[in-house]
Amino acid sequence: MTAYDDLMGFQRQTEALSQVAGRLGWDQETMMPKGAAEQRGEEIGAMEEVLHARRTAPELGDWLAAIDDTALDEVGRAQMRLIRRDYARRVRVPGKLAARIARVTSVAYGKWADARANEDFAGFAPVLAEIVALRREEGAHIADGGDVYDAMLDGYEPGATGAQIAEMFDALRPGLVALRSAVLDRREPSQVRGHFDHGAQMILARKVAEVFGYDFHRGRIDKAVHPFSSGSGADVRITTRTAAEDPFNCIYSTIHEVGHATYEQGIDPAYGLSPLGQGVSLGVHESQSRIYENQLGRSRAFCHWLYGQMRDAFGDLGVRNEEAFYKAVNRVHRGYIRTEADEVQYNLHIMLRFDLERDMAAGKLEVADLEEAWNARFAQDFGYPVDKPSNGVLQDVHWAAGLMGYFPTYALGNVYAGCLYRAMLDGVPGLDDQLAMGDLSGATGWLRDNLQQHGGLYAPREVVERACGFAPSEVPLLGYLEYKFADLYGL
């Protein structure tokens, strides 16, 4: 046995335990009895202490020192790149702090859900302030004198910095604002109307998930307050939600999470329970969910197929034909909720959150002032006031979960998706004809072969560039949006 063999055997057990910890989180948001929240916090905290000890174990450092990366093949070198990077971050964070963060964020989920239901940000603010303080402390340890927010962001999008993201947002914002203004000056299309049975929505959601390639032999679908995907390899689970007056909430939440899940299911099985056996970054992950949901799921061709499926499931939809349905699916409208935002305005929601959390990380914005800052920025960006906390600062679970640095990866994922879609149009002849028949195999197969199978083998921007044949930029996304919505609204 070599040092590399010993290291990878140790790593495999760590990855297995991490999957178990993830399952605790999945259960917490889907099936756990509400009264178990405090105990679950202890359980997750205990698991985090075990994982942190393994990820910073002295023998791990000894193996890393003994291994000559240049003597390994491409896969071995990639494994070492990811293990070394993770180890360097982990050893800087005290185990007690890591366990404290796990416990506090576990309990915070229930408090966030209660605060959201009761429109009570003031009641949630103390625990959020504790989370922000803990994450700033952790970020300072990892940054080791560098930028704290960059350290947070790097945990989700390796190699990215706050300055780079800000520059990208500055390039995106003018085009998005101009398009939004032009579209909102036009008459809104008809909306789908009716009462849509929750059970029927879940049946259709399952069918759509299968159409997009989700393997139920290695997954399942449940309901949660905030839809998510969890797990990797042979156990990848998704959740969605239903609303009796809005079936699109369920259908497109499902398609979005299937994008995440099929990325994990599509990774080369040889990488299972290793650092390569999961999505390489959250930006790349989001590129899969967004291209599934938007460029494919909201395309004219696919909407024509979906219209027939929804008519079969629910009867009259309140729109006259397939084209009217397509326009209803892509309606640009005033609204508060990020997850329900149209393609034109979605990134504006992300820019708001990015600026606020970056200021909190730098100590420029205190949690006590967050709701006021959110509401002021929203009114500035969208032109109307927030009506209640659940439509504003309390709408997302991310900060309650301690996920500071996560939000900008959503917009980065949209940028990557724009690039991938441009390349897909060349790589999948007859794509629209396939989508119109409800056949996603060409599109999802192209993504699996060109990006998903690689897992963590390549760096985030590199895997996108390899798939596309050109360096990622915001230009394809803006071009796609301008063309699509000029056509939709007759601009």
| Statement to judge: residues 202 and 107 lie in one domain | no
**Among 118, 146, 174, which residue terminates a domain?**
146
Cα separation, 432 vs 438, whole angstroms = 10
| Statement to judge: residues 119 and 190 lie in one domain | no
CB 472 within 8 A of CB 308: no
Six-digit token pair at 316?
């009259």
CA neighbor of 305 nearest in space, from 287, 322, 327 = 322
Cα separation, 422 vs 384, whole angstroms = 35
| Statement to judge: residues 115 and 228 lie in one domain | no
Cα separation, 66 vs 80, whole angstroms = 12
**Among 146, 174, 205, which residue terminates a domain?**
146
Q: For the chain, what is the domain count?
A: 2
Q: Which residues does 425 contact at the CB level (< 8 Å), separation at least 6?
A: 431
Task: Give pLDDT tens digits for 415-471.
Answer: 999 999 999 999 999 999 999 999 999 999 999 999 999 999 999 999 999 999 999
Cα separation, 264 vs 454, whole angstroms = 10
- Residue range of the domain that includes 282: 162-489
| Statement to judge: residues 473 and 401 lie in one domain | yes
| Statement to judge: residues 86 and 119 lie in one domain | yes
Q: Is residue 417 part of a domain?
A: yes
Task: Give pLDDT tens digits for 39-59.
Answer: 998 998 899 889 989 999 999
Q: Is residue 428 part of a domain?
A: yes
Helices 3-30 and 37-55, axial angle in degrees (round to 10): 170
Q: Is residue 212 part of a domain?
A: yes
Q: What are the DSSP calls for 164-184, one per residue?
A: HHHHHHHHHHHHHHHHHHHHH
| Statement to judge: residues 183 and 300 lie in one domain | yes
Q: Is residue 152 part of a domain?
A: no
pLDDT category of residue 1 using cuts at 50, 70 and 90: confident
Has 366 been annotated as catalytic?
no
Q: Could you tell me whether strands 221-223 and 235-240 are parallel, antiparallel, or unpaired per DSSP bridges?
A: parallel
Catalytic residue, from 257, 264, 293, 357: name it: 257
Q: Is residue 134 part of a domain?
A: yes
| Statement to judge: residues 222 and 335 lie in one domain | yes
Characterise 336 by phi-psi region: left (phi > 0), alpha (psi -120 to 50), beta (else): alpha
Cα separation, 206 vs 221, whole angstroms = 7
Task: Check pLDDT > 90 for residue 367.
Answer: yes
| Statement to judge: residues 304 and 380 lie in one domain | yes
Please state whether the predicted TM-score (pTM) of the whole model is above 0.85: yes
CB 300 within 8 A of CB 262: no
